[in-house]
Structure 1
Amino acid sequence: MNASAPSSAPLEGSIPTHPSRGFDRGQLLFLALYVAFLIVPGRLFEALDAGAGPRAWTGILRYVLLAGLGIWVFRDAIARSWTLTRQRPVRTGLLVIAAVLAAEIAPIIPAVLLSALGWMPEAGTNDANVSALTDQVPALVFVITVALLGPLTEEFVFREALVQRARRWVPVWTCVLISSLAFGALHIHTLAELPLVLLYASIALVYALALVISRGNLLVPIIAHVIHNGVPALSAFLGQ
């Protein structure tokens, strides 16, 4: 009597790891739209000489579209992350807390270094734009955009796509480094702000490491990012 061959199917209740496949067409469309929305509206508004109000509402609509599309095209990642969260809720919660705290501490190191070298810009355009948004849209719309839609969209792009999916072709630590630097570069607007890349990249590095350590649980960096953005946004909302 021949012994039966061991099954290659995953055990019931096993924890999923990172997906072996890369991107499908819907996810590639999402990434293409994200890049297009970074470039086209600014050039169009410059050509039309549009004011701050239209810019603000167009940016919000952009995030509504991207966040909604991202939830759909990366629904497999959300399902995988929910499974991981249900199987290890305590570990997930601890990782979220650690990521929130680390994201607050991480920028201090490059900020101190840049200040010591005299390279620290006085202020960043990104923070100024976010602050100005409070005068251009209703407070609740501001909170939803900054605290939820923005983090969702950025986590789909910089963690799920550039780390979780891209690791099929590129070593994971290379993905972590490239995605973090890309995230930092996204948040600067002039060459004078170039040193600020290190501050934003340090926060992105925390979220990318949280994703890797959690074995691909995208909910960990999403929740940490929402808290990181949401606390100051909610404070501004309540202060009005």
Structure 2
Amino acid sequence: MGSLSTQTRLYRFNIFDAAAVVAYVGFTAYFTFAGASVERLMLQFFPEPATASYAVNAIFYAAVGVFALASAWRVVGRDFRILGTRPWFTLGMVPLAVVVMLIITAILVAALGGAQSSENQMGIQGLLQHVPAWLMVPLLVLLGPFVEEYLFRHLLIGKLSQYVNIWICCIVSTVVFASIHTIGREGFELSALAPYLGMAVVLVGVYVWTGRNLMFSYLVHAAKNLLAVVLIYSVPAELLPS
């Protein structure tokens, strides 16, 4: 009974969840429609546009991350302890999940008529060309994936499934995750959604498969982002799109 009660408390919505969602949605909407004014403000403190853009993203994810960690720290500790009891499973399944993600993404891109870079992707690639790796890795590999797994898996599946059918939650998580990353001038064209749909399908799958283990889906997400960072920094600057 005590274990069930603890489980219920871990997946009950709280004030920190509300604050994290409000901050994420509010910042996303503001940056989408008033991003130019934000960058002009940041340029007063940082002379380089890339550095200013990095600062905006870092502040955004750090602000949401504070509320996310305040809400989910017990789940984080529990899930890391579970993964620690089966280290070989974790070490083997994380890279395998990334490979599956790449395969599914390639199939979706081919099926939907080819890849189209979203504004989110182009913005990240621009940052990677001008911001050093020691700054980008904490943002793209550590902070960003944690915030997104907390929002799109822990909240939209782990907690929401206490009230809504879990498969509906999985669909909502997949669609919202893919859509939020393509907000911009291209709208919701399937060719722009395809890469993020591939990511979302695998992240939702591993989250549910591991019994709603937030840290396992986080590790998969972080590993995929790390691979992308390593590949982009390995390509000579002259070969990257300007």
Q: TM-score higher than 0.5 here?
A: yes
Q: Residue 170 in 1 paired to residue 160 in 2?
A: no
Shift of 1:183: 0.7
1:90 to 80, 88, 91: 88
Matches within 5 A, 1:147-166: 147-166=141-160
| C-alpha distance in structure 2 between counterparts of 1:45 and 1:21, whole Å | 34
2:107 to 109, 124, 127: 109
- Maintained 8 Å contact 1:19/1:165: no
Change (3 A) 1:122 1:217: closer
- Maintained 8 Å contact 1:100/1:224: yes
2:201 to 200, 205, 217: 205
Change (3 A) 1:231 1:48: closer
SS of 1:106's equivalent?
helix
Q: Single out whichever of 78-87 and 217-226 deviates more from structure 2.
A: 78-87
TM-score (norm 1): 0.82
The one-letter code sitting in structure 1 at the alignment partner of 2:189 is: L
Q: CA RMSD in A?
A: 2.6
**Greater RCO, CA 8 A, separation 6+:** 1
CA deviations on 1:52-85 (whole Å, 9 max, x unpaired) are: 4433311122122323432222102102212321
SS of 2:131's equivalent?
coil
Q: Which has the larger radius of gyration?
A: 1
Question: % of aligned pairs identical?
Answer: 20
1:224 to 212, 220, 231: 220
Change (3 A) 1:184 1:48: closer
Change (3 A) 1:204 1:121: closer
1:214 to 204, 210, 216: 210
Shift of 1:209: 1.0
- 2:118 counterpart residue number: 124
Matched positions, count: 225
CA deviations on 1:201-238 (whole Å, 9 max, x unpaired) are: 22111111101110121111111111100122134345
- Maintained 8 Å contact 1:18/1:215: no
| Structure 1: tracts of 5 or more residues without a match | 1-7
Change (3 A) 1:128 1:26: same
- Maintained 8 Å contact 2:20/2:65: no
Shift of 1:47: 4.5
CA deviations on 1:121-158 (whole Å, 9 max, x unpaired) are: 54332221111112443331122212221111111111
TM-score (norm 2): 0.81
| C-alpha distance in structure 2 between counterparts of 1:214 and 1:126, whole Å | 29
Larger fraction in helix? 2
